[in-house]
Structure 1
Amino acid sequence: MDRTVNPEILAIALGVHEVGLLPTPDELAALIAEVEVGAIQSEAGVPDQLLSTAWYLHGIAAVLEGTEQYDLVRRRHAFAVSAHILELALDDRRNRLDPANDTSDGNEDEGPGADDDRAETADAETAGPPQDPGEVRARRLSLAFGAQVGYRRCEQDPNAAAVFRQVDPLLVTEESLASHLDTLAVEAGVAFLSLQRRRLARVLRVWRRQLGDLQRLAGVTDLRGSMYGPAQAVIEAVYDLTLFLTRADSAALETARAHLRDVVTGGAGRADRSARWVAAHLLELLDDMAEGSLQRLLPPGTPPALAQAFALSDPPVMTLWPPQRELLRKSRPLDPATSRLLISVPTSAGKTLMAQLVICAHLAADAGRVLYVSPLRSLGREMRQALRSRLRVLGRKLGDDQPDFPAPGAQATASDADVEVLTPERLMHALRQDANATLEGVGLIVVDEAHHMQQTERGFLLEGLLAFCQAHPSPPRLVLLSAAVGNHAELAAWLDPDQPAENVVFTSQWRGPRRLHGLLSPMKFTDRLTRTALPPRANRTRHTEAVLPMGLRISVRPTSTGKTFHMATSRDQPLGQRIYREKFPGDTTGKQSASVTNYALFAFGAAHLTRAGSVLVVCASRVATRNTAQAIAAHLPEFPPAAPLAGFLADTLGADHPIVDCARHGVAYHHAQLPAEVLHAVEDALRNDQLKALCCTSTLTDGVNLPVRSVIINSEVDDGLQRTWSGQPQMGPAQLLNAVGRAGRAGRESEGWILLTRHRDPYSADFALLEPGAERLQVLSALGTDDALADLAAAEQLIADTTDAIFKLAENHAATFASYVWFTLDALSRIPTLTPIEQMAAVDRLLAMRQLPPDLKDRWLQLAAKVAEQYEATEPTTRRRWTTPGTSIGTARILDSIAEALTHALLQDPAATAPAYDGIWGQVLAGVFPDEWPLQRTLDFFAQYGVYGVLLTFPEAKEAWTFTEKRTSTSARRYVDVAAAITGWTGGATIPDLADAWLSGLPREWALEQTVKNISVTFEHYLAWTLGALTNLINTRLEQARAEIRLPATVGWHLRHGVDTAQALALLNAGVTSRRLAQQIGRSASDRSIGADELRAWLTSLHLDGWRREFAATSYEINDLLEYVRTRRPSMVGTLLDARQLSLDATATGPTVAEDLPVQLRFAVGPQPSTLTADADQGTVAVIPADAYLDVLTIIDSGIDFEATLTGDRLTLRL
């Protein structure tokens, strides 16, 4: 907010003027601040003086270009301030067309009111008689266009798209042109400046068709000089500008320029002043937008397909934002010779798009495969979704979404995939299995949220991966991204010691949406406090009960140096009470359990803020996310758009699970112990405006782009001061910065509100916590933390006391480090190279070896030397086996011993050793074509030998498979048979049915929560990992024994997903997220003897209607299946643009049609997505096959004008 409410900036924008003509900079800052505060209170109103000032700044900044009085800096500030105010005016009640949404006249108890620090608003000034809807509509469009122009001219590009979302419904396409001719040109300008390609293409198609009809009716070639002439010229200019931005058509750019000049000079007609206003601004913007287009910014020689991959896919990218443009101009990120790059920009500065550009440019240059590594599954899902459409246009393939741990025999990174999206865990497991195969052909590794290296639990894993890749004799390119790095130069020197930091680091402070910082705190209504004497009782020391009514205070500060505004709920209608049993007046140590909690008060604030847009509440724990979500939902009515999500959650988790009732009110929660398909559905619901509030832990806010207006941080914040452990984890500066960055998603919101909760009265210093400085954002190795050094000291003592200490290190930093050293010794020794590799090369490349003081560095290296001694003393095939599990070395050794015993038991089976062939071939082919045991037989075998119970005793198991009778920490444990549970889970039983079977007699809600948690922790993660590792070790021994049997290599994956067929597993690994759907399809295919390799063809033949009919597939599930069945082929949209025509097979629905029958591509009536048909005058004549559906949809959504004809079963599209 500082950039438009700061008096110094306002003084530059206003310039020198006559006293009294305009408000002073301080007066203007106060006016804007008061309107912003009014928005928090749901009291939108822009005084006339403020609005007049905005139009004045807009006008002179546009007119006085190049004059000495208004230089570039002053004009930019003037546009920024005017755009801000004009957008605020869209929420003024006088400019609204939806009075039903005007909540400003609600009761006082419905939202925070103002206290004495709040200046009067101009309610009287902004009130007035009812407005004519046509005038209001025209005014809204003008305000929106003025704001969009201002944002584009001051380089706050994404805010222009955010403004469009507020007026999109005002674009008229269902009525005649005459009914809205007065606003037609403004509508075209508003649509164009949004750069929402799909929507823009649709409205242009309608308007150009209507104008063409008028031309034919009048018998003219254009409408120049008529009342329609100016609007037509603007529309044609917008059409040509879109052609240029999507197809690099330079001729279209000049044609657009000519159309706009024709309007400005009056050649197209003089009656439409609005068209001349729009044309003048577009003419000024034209060259700037052209220079910011991908076509102009990409290096010479870049294949056209790269720009098309962004302009013609979703979300569309036709121009780049300032930091993205600067990156391409300065840092050469797309050049394969740029081997190391750290991109550090704020959230909402387009970091994700930068990563996509680097990835797609690398592929376009045929420079090898790409690995995109994200520590966060939510971020990985988001990137996977974004890359799909880009890669579709490029004709490239995205790898399967496999579990973190590999199935032996199934490649961890599919060699036919161009891009893999992985977690660090999955990449490390793949490297442990076969580092050579994993990195073969990999030319680029992109690591997002790289600051996670400093996290204590998983940070060293990421640091180790980067160190190993740098120590590799053929290292791939490395690109790191983060919004939270304070020590750029140090990381640059680590990544590339031979380059100056400025050649390795790209950083920018640019951010699109504005930010408004605030504090939430409990409000004590002490003047309403009452005290009651308690009856005398023996040993009673507290004799008085005090009841203190409580409310909520919101404190906001629009600028870092400006006034703080305070608002509070009504004291006449408190939100709850604090009840104290006092020893003396004012004693608060005896607070009673019936007292209202702080989170309940903050939940009221969150519910109030949902009026302005969706709200994200970041909580300290998983339990807090549930409790807070329930408290918010209690303040909100049922929310119909969330009904589909609520239905899905009820089907998946059970109707009594607490998240279901929350969802009915438009509220949900998100944490790591919910199933992946639930997390995916919740994230999508928030993105699709089906949720009003989401409560989450900090793992969701790290890098995931969520479209929320407000973020409430209800967690302890690390302020750098030493304090006693409070029992709650503190949010570190990097986590805080990422959470703050979620407020106001670029392109969706132009402003974000961030509120930090305080459990006491707020202080001015609290605001500083929301903006941690570079000194608080140092990325430091996890090996230098106090916990790591304590673990190192314990390991050193253990080594001094015992002879096999390396095997006794378990589940701490020292054990993780030792396991990493063991892995690197094995992996580097197996890399074929003519030059010997230093044994400790990957250890020496650790960030810790650069950051730690010499004494600590030497201590870690001494531990590494001890690990190396043990490694060398271990038999080669044995130490290789101990590398693969990914556990501590000691656990790996125990797993190997268990595998040896189980292999011995298996070999007692005559079928294991009986020759598969007679005669000499029996000996020659022994073990070459072994039989694989069925899944259930394998699970029964493990249960027979008590394997599950043994695995659950390992240190890595932590709290896996624990159930309690009650929620309390002291509650008695409940026994649940894990073997029977696994059979039910893999057999496809629903979570509600599993809860009934496992925890009968417990309260339904508690039973469901524990069932979900244990499925996530135990089945989807721990046992799936360790059981898969054990199976690998067993199969390795069976292969060495040349046995005729094997256990299924994918047993861990079956346990991870909870399915029992190979077909279901294929679907889930390929990105289908619904376990129910995968299980049902898998069973159906298995019953028909359709193998996993035949699944795509079979599902393609069923088409969308068959998916709904056979499997009751939902719209979300159908989208997944469309992606699954899609045939990989050269880019259809690229082929169409290059060759100007494209042919594909279609499924004829009747007799063979005549040659080149003209058809229209349409969506069938019904639930979306629906069948895509080719229709002629006689009706539907063909259907687009399911495996081509998404490619044809990309062409339709691109806005490219084409004609379609059908000959037999062959569909042809022509430009």
Structure 2
Amino acid sequence: MLQAACYGVLGDRTPDVSRYLRTHALPPEPDEAANWGARVRQSVYRLWLLVLRKDGWADLDAVLAEIVGLREAQKSGEAQFLETSDTPRSDAWQLMASYHLSKAAELLATYSAQGSVAGGFNIREQLQAQFDRSQIACERGELIGLHATVRLLSETAERMVANSIWSVTRGASARIARFVESMAARTRDKPVFEMLPPQRIALRDQGLMNSGARSVVLSLPTSSGKTFIAQFRILQALNQFEAERGWVAYIAPTRALVNQVCAKLRRDFSPLGVVVERVSPALDIDGVEAELLADKDPRTAFRVLVGTPEKIDLLLRGGWEAKIGRPLTLVVVDEAHNLSNKGRGLRLELMLATINRECRNSQFLLMTPFIENRGEVARWLSPDSFADMTVEFNWRPNDRAIVIAQPSKAERAGEYEISLQTIHTSKSTIKIDHLVPLCSGRELGLTWSQVRPSLSNVAAVTASCLNRRGPVIVVAGKVKDTWGLARTMAKDPKLAEKLEQRPGSKDMSNIDFVADFVAEEFGRDFELIGLLKKRVGLHHTGLSDDTRVLMEWLMELGELDTMVATTTIAQGLNFPVTAVVMASHQYPYGLDMPPEDFWNLAGRAGRADQSGTGVVALAATTDDRVALLSDYVGRNVSHLNSTLIDMVRSALAAGSQLELHTLYYMKEWSAFLQYLAHSYRQIDDHATFASQIEQVLRGSFGFQKLRREDQTVANRLVAAVTDYAAIIRNQPLSLVDTTGFSWESVSRALAGARAAGIDSNSWDASTLFTANDRTLQNAFGVLLQIPELKAELAEVTGGGRGNGDLLARIVKDWVNGASLAEMANEHFRGPNDSPTDAMSKACRLVYGKMTSTASWGLSAIQSLTIRDGLDRMTEEERRTFRNLPSRIYYGVNSDMAIDLRLMGVPRNAAQPLSDHLSRQNVGTGIKSMRAALEGLSDADWHTAVGAAGPTYQKAWKILEGLA
């Protein structure tokens, strides 16, 4: 066991070593009745296994305690042993060598815990002295076997010191030193004593810790600990601009990742006094966020801001860096391969270009899985000061095999066999050339005729067989398919027997808690509750955001055996599983999942804290599909490309002229036109802009590449921008930045608002969401004509051209507290829909379409109609005015409830809790509300929310990363 662990460390497989030692019982402390020589040998063996395992402070404390015990026992045991020994000389030298090995273990345990030994930081020299003396003792006693062990332990200790969090960060700033101390502190549930190899290589070997490069692309595999690396870069940037109180923007692609990252950064940075805040994905800055952003108090002002690309873009184009009054010093982009995403990539690219041009102190850290042209991407943002960093050796946190699962008919009637065929493995040694039988018979009670034609049933059976090894994600193409898969797995006739034989705790308290939460959110009869009781969960857009987070929480705890999800789960969620089974590799609209998303999803299996080989199984029913899937998996992420190149070429292919003002109805072109309008506004002079068009365009990654590849097409784009500049000349382009619309859409919205009679007097918070007020109906009638919004808004009301009156009624019901069940029955249930179908549709349209798009649209209409009205308002009136769109986004109808929603309180609890706090005379504002919320007792939650109070209190703590 000791040799295997040492070789694992030397092979940079430290996660495997820790897992191996955690899952195998260490030898017990030696029997006191044993002779002293045997006791010492066994003790040293055990001490080194504890040092290698380092399962929290308990192991390190055990090393020190057992060494103290060994020294006490030495007083009586050593002399007697040597006096009675038949080979006293050899035994004496062996004891001497072992004592030095125990001292080395003590030194290494002490250094791992506190970064120094007896006030000294020369751990290598101290260890070398002990190992040298041990080797001398072996040589003099002619102990050949022990000599080899000493040499092995010496090399292993050297590698452990190199990986130590203290060694990697030595010489860093005082703030980073405090961060390291807090990460290794006794108070942490999972203290960090050493780095993963990619973290060590990036931070120390490649110099990211002390890099002066403005633009860095960090390209590492999934589960390499990129976020932890980013934390050091963040602290470096904050330290660099401490006098100016600089701040960092951390950009994550989804709301779920924004919440996850914010919770992690808050936990890790709070001991340092570094305040971390997040902004919602809603495309407006409400009164709560305005207060948060404008906070000037050094004790409470944010230093790290987490948000989606679209929100950070809107914030910066709205001039908030100047309003914040402190410089943006670092932009961290998580999942940076989204730059090539056809739907959202261009806005992210142009946002980075805008920051690069306008924020003097800005630096960039782009994190992504492997891409070939990382140097080109890094050079784009800073040609004179860039770095691309990657781990060149083939490191993976765990072994992983990508296989195809295919059924074949068995001899007995109705039975079948599922076999696995490996098509990609992380290392050649786990590739198997022949089919591997997984299971046979009638798994899940399904017959051959039911499995043969059904990818869903093949996936369900495969998952059922694989989840005996641990939690499994099953991926389906559509929301409706996930319910079918979950039902199939829950109907397993042998499920009760399997649950009884399930390893680990049989405790269902966490499952029961989430089931209670789901019952409060969706009703006691909601189908998910019964599935949870069978340890089957779901994760898709047909559930609320909070419910999906709780599904992830259960998976992290290992409480669910199976989670059935749609392919949209590929966007970088952070819970580990032993296997991913894919019934579909396509998104719901029929397009193949891009390679980068597939490999992100595959990265869920075989992570650093998972045992065994991670399996990614793709379901196939025919040989043709096997060939198709083999080809699909063979596609690798190669170059990261800008979508601007394809946009320009497609536009030219559709017509001989490139007339930008005619393309505004396409969202990707709207983003580009907004970039031009913002740049024009910043330059503030038509002649200057006209002379600098090529410079403005060169700020984008796409134009730089287009210019290199096709100068003629690049010139045509420059000419088209010149023509467009003449069109937007003398227009109020500030409205483009405040609305997130192209100028053409702004112009259309202005005309529509005037025609509908919407003006600065229309925004009365006391009447806006009442049944008799027509303002919302009129506003949505206008917004349904705006290209940036109309598709999503129309879909909420059933598609087509949309229905402003119906949309307003839906929004009003939502803001006034209608439950999801009421919303589903009233607005979304079709004649043939089951209750589950109706609820899924309601969640998908309310959370996925309505809340974000309707709140954005309302904010835009407010910006277009308020004119100088804000200047005449009191501070409280301005706050209420800005909060109106957030009432739609959060589904509540008061400013205080919005505060609570921003702080993570679930919707159903936010309004009653705000009423309770209002009766306690708690003032509005993020500071007072946060203090009041954190001070609430269990009894307060029960008083405010009723019987569901404890459930919502626990849910809030989990959602905020407090539990």
Both proteins in one fold, TM over 0.5: yes
Any conservation in 1 of the 2:327–2:359 contact (CA below 8 Å)? no
SS of structure 1 residue aligned to 2:418:
strand
From 229, 242, 245, the equivalent of 1:354 is: 229
The superposition leaves residues 1141-1190 of structure 1 with CA deviations (integer Å, 9 ceiling, x where unpaired) of: xxxxxxxxxxxxxxxxxxxxxxxxxxxx7xxxxxxxxxxxxxxxxxxxxx
Taking a change above 3 Å as real, the CA distance of residues 1062 and 522 of structure 1, as seen in their structure-2 partners, is: same
Counterpart in 2 of 1:1206?
none
From 549, 554, 562, the equivalent of 2:420 is: 554
Matched, 1:311 2:184: yes
Counterpart in 2 of 1:378?
256
1:730 CA displacement: 0.4
Taking a change above 3 Å as real, the CA distance of residues 226 and 703 of structure 1, as seen in their structure-2 partners, is: farther
SS of structure 2 residue aligned to 1:958:
helix
Taking a change above 3 Å as real, the CA distance of residues 1096 and 728 of structure 1, as seen in their structure-2 partners, is: closer
Gaps of at least 5 residues in structure 1 are 1-142, 530-547, 580-592, 719-725, 800-804, 913-931, 1127-1168, 1170-1215
Any conservation in 1 of the 2:577–2:605 contact (CA below 8 Å)? yes
Any conservation in 2 of the 1:189–1:238 contact (CA below 8 Å)? yes
* 1:1064-1083 correspondence to structure 2 within 5 Å: 1064-1070=897-903, 1072-1083=904-915
Taking a change above 3 Å as real, the CA distance of residues 998 and 770 of structure 1, as seen in their structure-2 partners, is: closer
Taking a change above 3 Å as real, the CA distance of residues 231 and 812 of structure 1, as seen in their structure-2 partners, is: same
* 1:732-743 correspondence to structure 2 within 5 Å: 732-743=594-605
The superposition leaves residues 935-961 of structure 1 with CA deviations (integer Å, 9 ceiling, x where unpaired) of: 756896454653234434543231446
Counterpart in 2 of 1:1012?
843
Any conservation in 1 of the 2:736–2:742 contact (CA below 8 Å)? no
1:1017 CA displacement: 2.7
Counterpart in 2 of 1:821?
676
The superposition leaves residues 99-127 of structure 1 with CA deviations (integer Å, 9 ceiling, x where unpaired) of: xxxxxxxxxxxxxxxxxxxxxxxxxxxxx
Gaps of at least 5 residues in structure 2 are 82-94, 296-300, 500-505
The CA distance in 2 between the partners of 1:879 and 1:975, in whole Å, is 27
1:1084 CA displacement: 0.8
1:978 CA displacement: 3.5
SS of structure 1 residue aligned to 2:403:
strand
Matched, 1:1034 2:903: no
Once the two structures are overlaid, the 10-residue window that deviates more, 629-638 or 418-427, is 629-638
From 873, 885, 898, the equivalent of 2:739 is: 885
SS of structure 1 residue aligned to 2:818:
coil
The CA distance in 1 between the partners of 2:812 and 2:146, in whole Å, is 69
Matched, 1:630 2:487: yes
The CA distance in 1 between the partners of 2:667 and 2:816, in whole Å, is 35
Matching residue's letter, 2:671: T
Q: What value does the CA root-mean-square deviation take over the aligned residues?
A: 4.7
Counterpart in 2 of 1:1132?
none
The superposition leaves residues 205-251 of structure 1 with CA deviations (integer Å, 9 ceiling, x where unpaired) of: 578779989999x9x99998899999999998766534423432143
The CA distance in 2 between the partners of 1:1031 and 1:1066, in whole Å, is 21
Any conservation in 2 of the 1:518–1:767 contact (CA below 8 Å)? no
Matching residue's letter, 2:53: S
* 1:318-397 correspondence to structure 2 within 5 Å: 318-335=193-210, 337-366=212-241, 368-397=246-275
Any conservation in 2 of the 1:443–1:477 contact (CA below 8 Å)? yes
Counterpart in 2 of 1:290?
161
Counterpart in 2 of 1:643?
512
Counterpart in 2 of 1:770?
633
Counterpart in 2 of 1:425?
310
The superposition leaves residues 1021-1069 of structure 1 with CA deviations (integer Å, 9 ceiling, x where unpaired) of: 1112111222233333423678997662111222111122323322332
Any conservation in 2 of the 1:1028–1:1050 contact (CA below 8 Å)? no
1:837 CA displacement: 10
The CA distance in 2 between the partners of 1:1030 and 1:459, in whole Å, is 26
The CA distance in 2 between the partners of 1:193 and 1:441, in whole Å, is 44
SS of structure 2 residue aligned to 1:700:
helix
Counterpart in 1 of 2:86?
none
1:609 CA displacement: 0.4
From 447, 450, 463, the equivalent of 2:333 is: 447
The CA distance in 1 between the partners of 2:821 and 2:148, in whole Å, is 62
Matching residue's letter, 2:314: H
SS of structure 2 residue aligned to 1:756:
strand
Matching residue's letter, 2:455: N
1:890 CA displacement: 2.9
Counterpart in 2 of 1:730?
592
The CA distance in 1 between the partners of 2:747 and 2:80, in whole Å, is 86
TM-score normalised by the chain length of structure 2? 0.80
Any conservation in 1 of the 2:63–2:106 contact (CA below 8 Å)? no
1:869 CA displacement: 1.6
The CA distance in 1 between the partners of 2:62 and 2:375, in whole Å, is 54
TM-score normalised by the chain length of structure 1? 0.65
1:727 CA displacement: 6.6
The CA distance in 2 between the partners of 1:464 and 1:419, in whole Å, is 21
Matching residue's letter, 1:777: S
Matched, 1:696 2:565: yes
1:688 CA displacement: 1.4
1:289 CA displacement: 1.6
Matching residue's letter, 2:884: V
* 1:867-1016 correspondence to structure 2 within 5 Å: 867-874=724-731, 878-900=732-754, 907=761, 933-934=765-766, 941=773, 943=775, 946-955=778-787, 956-960=789-793, 962=795, 977-998=806-827, 1003-1016=834-847
The CA distance in 1 between the partners of 2:774 and 2:129, in whole Å, is 77
* 1:1046-1057 correspondence to structure 2 within 5 Å: 1048-1057=881-890
The superposition leaves residues 532-583 of structure 1 with CA deviations (integer Å, 9 ceiling, x where unpaired) of: xxxxxxxxxxxxxxxx97653322366657523332643688975687xxxx
* 1:1073-1112 correspondence to structure 2 within 5 Å: 1073-1093=905-925, 1094-1103=928-937, 1106-1107=940-941, 1111=945
The CA distance in 2 between the partners of 1:809 and 1:1113, in whole Å, is 48
Larger Rg: 1
Matching residue's letter, 1:490: E
Any conservation in 2 of the 1:934–1:1048 contact (CA below 8 Å)? no
Matched, 1:471 2:381: no
The CA distance in 1 between the partners of 2:915 and 2:870, in whole Å, is 30
Matching residue's letter, 1:1095: M
Taking a change above 3 Å as real, the CA distance of residues 204 and 896 of structure 1, as seen in their structure-2 partners, is: same
Any conservation in 2 of the 1:513–1:752 contact (CA below 8 Å)? no
SS of structure 1 residue aligned to 2:881:
coil
1:963 CA displacement: 6.9
Any conservation in 1 of the 2:541–2:840 contact (CA below 8 Å)? no
SS of structure 2 residue aligned to 1:730:
coil
1:524 CA displacement: 4.3
* 1:6-85 correspondence to structure 2 within 5 Å: none
Matching residue's letter, 2:885: G
* 1:208-227 correspondence to structure 2 within 5 Å: none
The CA distance in 1 between the partners of 2:160 and 2:166, in whole Å, is 11
The CA distance in 2 between the partners of 1:808 and 1:167, in whole Å, is 64
Once the two structures are overlaid, the 10-residue window that deviates more, 598-607 or 937-946, is 937-946
Matched, 1:848 2:848: no
The superposition leaves residues 133-155 of structure 1 with CA deviations (integer Å, 9 ceiling, x where unpaired) of: xxxxxxxxxx4x55433321211
Any conservation in 2 of the 1:618–1:715 contact (CA below 8 Å)? yes
Taking a change above 3 Å as real, the CA distance of residues 261 and 1034 of structure 1, as seen in their structure-2 partners, is: farther
Any conservation in 2 of the 1:215–1:222 contact (CA below 8 Å)? no
The CA distance in 2 between the partners of 1:573 and 1:229, in whole Å, is 60
Higher helix share: 2
The CA distance in 2 between the partners of 1:231 and 1:1114, in whole Å, is 56
